[in-house]
């Protein structure tokens, strides 16, 4: 009996026939020389290395900077599939924004008993300093990344929500630029929707959220980076450049006349919108971590007074919380009055005794994640873990069960990669990027496809050995 799990192959059906979105690409691929395509893969790597698309890995003894591997076989999504995803993503983002407003104001969802009050009160991502604060335009989550996985033809699940400082959009843009340079003929054969307008839309969306009392016709937008040693520094610099915004660090900023101002050759200039890539705890040493050298002393006071827009708003991390994630279907229904279009992955909250017992009894079958974890760190993939790893993780779980949630090991869909011997299936996820302004939600067609390059691996994070692909959404 064959006990191997059956994974949904996005390119080929069970008979080996290309699925509709891939039919034209498959015809093209069949006429190409494999050696030529391998050379193209090497060209892509050289291109990424030349323009400096790297990320830093902390806690590693080897060199800090790494190149994110790029695979030249695109992931292709039909117009029909994308239309449904767009609906679900927009619904979820609206609900998250409404939830954040509520949780920092009247807390109606807690009064209604739809989520436990202690989940908020004891959560380190909840910022009491944000209670009663009204962000300009009512927008908390200006930039959102929704991580999706697929298990079947029409089966998409939200794996997690990224409402704090979602990263990866620069790789989405550079992946597309690379494919356009290497395979221009493909873009004449297929109607692939563009993603190149993202930086302009980001600028427009942020500008639309500027404080009305200060912003003129062209609000001043700046990107706050922790500096060159941050793992996503390339992206910070890239987006600032593409938007035509200033890239600033904490030492470039100070409070002048109740405004946050940046140093220029002509003196200090007031900023209307600050796209910050610094975590809440380091944002303001007067209000949060007093030892922070990455933030601006007093910026929260200016923010609360309506003197600047901070994107994303402080305190949005509560919506990223993996324990709260399990309540997202209730949150969507509570604020939209509709059932969630996109499904959640079934989740056991280890803080609940019955759930903890089940997780401990089935540890080798489940994926266990830290509630505040990210980047693939601090998690256990049960089926791939050794007995020693399982035993070690069981001790951590028993010591602090509220720190973990568990999920089944999903049969993630596969998309082929360009391997040494030709095409080979690998597991993927997808992070579409969403821009929110008071009047409009813009969803870039596609997003960042991350791929687990190791055969059989389900971990797609670049810090854990994953790579990326260009994501093509076809036009009608």
Who contacts 265 (Cβ-Cβ below 8 Å, separation ≥6)? Answer: none
At residue 323, φ and ψ (nearest 5 deg) are -75, -40
Percent helix, strand and coil across the chain, each to the nearest 5:
35, 25, 40
**pLDDT given for residue 361 in this prediction:** 95
Question: Considering only CA atoms, which of 184, 202, 160 is closest in space to residue 379?
Answer: 160
**pLDDT given for residue 232 in this prediction:** 87
Residue pair 102/109 in contact by the 8 Å Cβ criterion: yes
Rounded CA separation 143/303 (Å): 18
Rounded CA separation 276/269 (Å): 17
Q: Two tokens at 119?
A: 């989940």
**pLDDT given for residue 374 in this prediction:** 60
**pLDDT given for residue 377 in this prediction:** 62
Look up the pTM and report it: 0.92
Residues in the chain: 476
Residue pair 77/446 in contact by the 8 Å Cβ criterion: yes
**pLDDT given for residue 89 in this prediction:** 98
pLDDT digit string (tens) for the chain, length 476 residues: 334 457 999 999 999 999 999 999 999 999 999 899 989 988 888 887 776 665 554 444 444 556 788 999 999 999 999 999 999 999 999 999 999 999 999 999 999 999 999 889 888 899 999 999 999 999 999 999 999 999 999 999 999 999 998 999 999 999 999 999 999 999 999 999 999 999 999 999 999 999 988 767 789 999 999 999 888 898 999 999 999 999 999 999 999 999 999 999 999 999 999 999 999 999 999 999 999 999 999 999 999 999 999 999 999 999 988 889 999 999 999 999 999 999 999 999 998 999 999 999 999 999 998 887 665 567 888 888 899 999 999 999 999 998 899 999 888 999 999 988 889 999 999 999 999 999 999 999 999 999 998 888 777 776 666 899 999 999 98
CA distances to 97, 144, 343 from 332, in Å: 10, 16, 11
**Cα 183–chain centre separation:** 27
**pLDDT given for residue 409 in this prediction:** 87
> Which domains does the chain show, CATH number per domain?
20-344+410-473 (no CATH), 348-408 (3.30.1490.270)
Rounded CA separation 445/197 (Å): 10
**pLDDT given for residue 347 in this prediction:** 93
Q: Two tokens at 263?
A: 């140093």
């Amino acid at each position: 009996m064959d006990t191997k799990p059956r994974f949904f192959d996005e390119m080929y059906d069970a008979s080996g026939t290309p699925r509709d979105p891939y039919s034209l690409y498959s015809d093209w691929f069949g006429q190409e020389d494999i050696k030529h395509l391998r050379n193209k893969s090497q060209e892509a790597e050289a291109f990424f290395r030349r323009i400096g698309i790297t990320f830093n890995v902390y806690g590693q003894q080897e060199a800090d900077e790494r190149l994110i591997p790029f695979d030249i076989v695109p992931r292709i999504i039909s117009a029909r599939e994308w239309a449904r995803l767009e609906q679900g993503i927009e619904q979820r983002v609206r609900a998250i924004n409404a939830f954040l407003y509520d949780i920092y104001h009247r807390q109606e969802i807690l009064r209604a008993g739809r989520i436990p009050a202690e989940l908020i009160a004891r959560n380190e991502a909840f910022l009491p300093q944000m209670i009663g604060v009204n962000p300009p335009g009512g927008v908390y989550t200006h930039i959102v990344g929704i991580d999706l996985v697929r298990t079947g033809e029409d089966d998409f699940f939200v794996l997690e929500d990224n409402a704090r400082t979602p990263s990866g959009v620069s790789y989405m843009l550079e992946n597309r630029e690379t494919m356009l340079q290497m395979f221009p003929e493909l873009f004449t054969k297929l109607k692939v929707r563009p993603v190149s307008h993202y930086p302009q839309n980001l600028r427009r969306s942020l500008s639309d959220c500027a404080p009305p009392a200060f912003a003129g016709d062209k609000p001043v937008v700046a990107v706050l980076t922790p500096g060159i040693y941050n793992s996503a520094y390339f992206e910070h610099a890239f987006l600032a450049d593409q938007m035509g915004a200033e890239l600033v660090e904490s030492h470039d900023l100070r409070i002048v006349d109740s405004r946050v101002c940046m140093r220029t050759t002509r003196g200090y200039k007031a900023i209307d919108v600050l796209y910050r890539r610094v975590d809440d705890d380091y944002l303001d040493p007067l209000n949060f971590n007093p030892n922070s050298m990455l933030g601006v002393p007093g910026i929260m006071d200016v923010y609360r007074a309506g003197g600047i827009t901070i994107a994303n708003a402080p305190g949005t991390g509560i919506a990223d919380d993996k324990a709260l994630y399990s309540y997202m279907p209730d949150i969507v229904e509570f604020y939209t009055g509709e059932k969630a279009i996109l499904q959640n992955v079934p989740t056991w909250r280890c803080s609940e005794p019955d759930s903890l017992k089940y997780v401990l009894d089935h540890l080798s079958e489940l994926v266990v994640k830290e509630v505040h974890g990210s980047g693939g760190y601090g998690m256990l993939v049960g089926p791939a873990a050794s007995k020693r790893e399982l035993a070690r993780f069981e001790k951590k779980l028993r010591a602090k069960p509220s720190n973990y949630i568990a999920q089944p090991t999903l049969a993630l869909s596969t998309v082929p990669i360009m391997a040494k011997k030709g095409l080979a299936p690998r597991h993927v996820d997808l992070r579409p990027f969403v821009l929110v302004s008071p009047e409009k939600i813009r969803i870039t067609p596609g997003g960042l496809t991350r791929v687990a390059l190791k055969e059989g691996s389900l971990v797609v994070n670049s810090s854990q050995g994953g790579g990326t692909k260009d994501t093509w959404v076809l036009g009608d």
